[in-house]
Amino acid sequence: MTQFSLSWGSFKDFISKLNKLAHNIKFKVEWKVDGKIAFLDILVTRCSDQLSFTVYRKPIHTGSYLDFFSYHQDKIIYSVATGLFMRALGICSPQHLDTELYLVHLQLSELGYPDWFLSKALSKAILSFYKNHNTTNKYIWDNKCITLSYNEYINTASKLLPKDQIKFTFNYPNSLFKKVVNVHKRTKVNKNPGVYKIPCQDCEDVYWGQTGRDLNTRIKEHKNSVKYAQENSAVFLHTYQKDHRIDWDNSAILFKSHCSFRRKIVESSFIKHFPNLNICIYIILPPAYVLIC
C-alpha cells in the first residue's frame, strides 16, 4: 500500500476524490484551532501530549434555560439544574470543573434560581454522579452477567463455565401470567364523547364541559390554555385570578353520549345546579328542543 504524506495538499485531494464517489454524500473536515476542537458538546484541548475536556457551547448560545418561576413542577426545575451540573461532572477535566460549575451557577442565577436551590441541586448531582459511576464500574468488572431465555441445554452448558468469571441468569417468557392475563385489552377510559368535569384542587369549584372527542384530547387543550395564558379560557382565569391549582388527574367523563344536543342539556344542568368556574352561564333550552332530543 502506497503511503501518502498527511500534508494539507494531499489530504485535500483525498477528500475531493472521496466526495466524487457518491453525489449525495459529502464529507467535511474540521481542524483544530489553537489546539482546540469541538465534538458534540465537548471541547477537547490538546496540551503537549495530554488532552483535557470541558463543556462546549456554540457562539450563539445565550444561556437561556427554564426560568425558575415558570409554571412547572419542582422536580422539572430541579432536573434543569442537576442535569447541567451532572453534565459538567461527566465531561470536565479536573482543571476545568470549577470554572464550568461557576458558569452554570451564574447562568441559572440570572434566571431566578436562588443560591440555596443551586447548592442543593449540586449536592444531589454529585451524590448521583459518583453513586452511578461506582455502580456502573462494579457491574462491568465484578458482576458479568448474561440473561437468556431458559433452555435446558444452555443451562447444562453454563455449569461448565468458570463461575468466578461469568454468570448466567434465565427468564421464562412462557409464563402462566402472560398466557392468562392480556394487558393489551384493558378498557380505555375517557375515550368516549360526553360531559366532563375538571375540578379545582384548592376549592369546590368545577369546570363543566362537553366534547364530541375523547377527554384526553380536550384536557390537553385546557392545559395549553393555562400554559399560554389564554384569557378566553375559564380554567386559566380561575388559576390566574385566584392562584388556585387545577386537579387534572381527577378529571372525568360523567355522562357519555354521542348526541351533541343531549350533551349540551346535561352540561347546562351541571353548570346551573353545582359550583362551577365556567365563564358562560347555563343555557336554558326550550321544551320543544328537549323533546326532540
Report if residue 215 sits inside a domain. yes
pLDDT averages per 10-residue partition of the chain, 293 residues:
52 82 83 82 83 86 85 82 89 86 89 89 85 51 61 66 65 66 57 89 92 89 89 89 90 88 86 86 50 39
Instruction: Print burial letters for 67-85: b (CB count within 10 Å at least 16), e (below 16).
Output: ebeeeeeeeebeebbbebb
Residues 201 and 260 placed together within one structural domain of the fold:
yes
Are residue 287 and residue 222 in the same domain, yes or no?
A: yes
Residue range of the domain that includes 226: 194-292
Report DSSP state, residue 279: S
CATH number of the CATH domain containing 215: 3.40.1440
**How many domains are there within the chain?**
3
| Domain annotation covers residue 187 | no
Integer-rounded Cα Rg, in Å, for the chain is 31
Question: Which has the closest alpha carbon to 256: 293, 218, 212?
Answer: 212
Q: What is the pLDDT of residue 142?
A: 46
pLDDT recorded at residue 184: 57
| 64 is a domain residue | yes
Q: Give the per-residue pLDDT at 246.
A: 92
Q: Could you give phi then psi for residue 246, rounded to 5 degrees? A: -95, 135
Co-location of 170 and 203 in the same domain: no
Among positive and negative, which fits the CA dihedral 108, 114, 115, 117?
negative
Domain assignment present for residue 13? The answer is no
Residues 202 and 229 placed together within one structural domain of the fold: yes
Shared domain check, 102 and 77: yes
In a domain, 66, yes or no: yes
Does any domain span residue 225?
A: yes
129 plus 152 within the same structural domain: no
Residue 36: predicted pLDDT: 84
